[in-house]
Amino acid sequence: MIYNILLIGYRESGKTTYINRLSTGEFNPHYTPTTSNIYNVLDFNTKNGIIKFNVIETHDYDNNITNIDGVILMYDCNFKVNNTYINYYLNKYKNLPVIVCGNKIDLGGEKYYYEERLYNNYNVIISSKSNYHFEKPFLYLARHLTKDLNLEFIAMEAIEPPVVEYVEE
């Protein structure tokens, strides 16, 4: 199964760091602005097989990207949440599952959350730095898109490197 997911959000909310953390395990705390659409493929192993997400990370808030199956809308928990901004995207993508995702929950200071009632959508708090709930947005999307509410991600087995014998000449 392959699903197209749009990842949008506030500037410096951690979108690129989040995707890099999921795809490579790397955490890079340095900010590099996204200047064009970035495409990533993420594989998640389930008891029903592998689910692939084609993730389109965009800097363009007025994007016209089509053929998407779901949306992750990311914001930084350390800044006041603009409900008008979030509600705009909830309305724009009202026929799709939308995950409102607060990132950077592990940083010190006062936290702000999007707390309005979400109908048919999901609100989750994560940390790309500590991996706190970092798989939850994609788990919700996988459950919603496959219509399997009991779906769980399982660890992928490590691939053993091939045994190579060297013959000295």
Q: Can you give the residue ranges of every domain in the chain? A: 2-146
Which portions of the chain are predicted below pLDDT 70?
Answer: 31, 34-35, 60-63, 81, 109-121, 156-166, 169
Predicted pLDDT at 71: 93
pTM recorded for the entire structure? 0.80
How does DSSP classify residue 157?
Answer: P
Dist CA 169 CA 28 (whole Å): 45
Q: What dotted CATH number matches 2-146?
A: 3.40.50.300
- CB within 8 Å of 106: residues ≥ 6 apart: 127, 129, 130, 132
Predicted pLDDT at 152: 92
